[in-house]
Amino acid sequence: MWAVANLTGQPSRKIVGELVMFTLVYNEGGAMGTRLGSTDYYTVMALLILPFIAYYLWRNRFERVIAWPLAFILGGAIGNLIDRIRLGRVVDFIDVDMPDINLSFFQLDRWWTFNIADAAITCSIVFLLLHMLLVKKAAPPAPGS
């Protein structure tokens, strides 16, 4: 709501020079510029997936290393879903520069504009993936021991 109220019709607002700016963008697609379908597709997918995330969060509510990232994923997804229902698209406004990526089939000069919900979801997914890959679980006790 802040971004819409303060950035509509305005040029990009420099926060840290051109490295970090606030630029209002309406996203009808998905994360990182994906366009797998209409905004209705993303709304329906969120409505179908959110109950599973909520259930998994509830099942792991006492294991903080899993519960906190799941809570951020759930909260971020709900925030983006509220935008989709209320506005028909997601409000993005954090605009970050990065080193250019130039491949023969792909070019990226700035990172995709995102919002706080996107950051919460992305950082939490990366954390969970790293946790699954790097943290060894204790082996279950052998039968009969």
| H-helix segments, 60-95 | 64-87
Helix (H, G, I), strand (E, B) or coil at 115: coil
| CA distances (Å), origin 2, targets 8, 19, 106 | 10, 21, 33
| Mean residue pLDDT across the chain | 90
For 89, the enclosing helix (H) or strand (E) is: none
What would the pLDDT profile of 98-120 be if each residue is shown by its tens digit? 877 778 777 778 888 999 999 99
CA dihedral 45, 114, 71, 48 (to 10 degrees): 0
Domain count, the chain: 1
Residue 140 lies in a domain: no
Q: Tell me, yes or no, if 97 is annotated catalytic.
A: no
Among residues 40, 83, 92, 97, the one annotated as catalytic is 92
Residue 145 lies in a domain: no
pLDDT at 91 over 90: yes
Show the domain range for 123: 22-30+37-134
Residue 124 lies in a domain: yes
Question: Residue 45: its pLDDT value, please?
Answer: 93
- CB contact at 8 A, 123 and 72: yes
Question: Residue 35: its pLDDT value, please?
Answer: 76
Question: Residue 34: its pLDDT value, please?
Answer: 75
The residue among 37, 29, 32, 24 whose CA lies nearest residue 121 is 32
| CA separation for the pair 55, 50 (Å, rounded) | 9
What would the pLDDT profile of 2-46 be if each residue is shown by its tens digit? 999 999 999 999 999 989 999 999 998 887 777 787 888 999 999
Q: Tell me, yes or no, if 118 is annotated catalytic.
A: yes
| CA separation for the pair 104, 37 (Å, rounded) | 26
Helix (H, G, I), strand (E, B) or coil at 88: coil
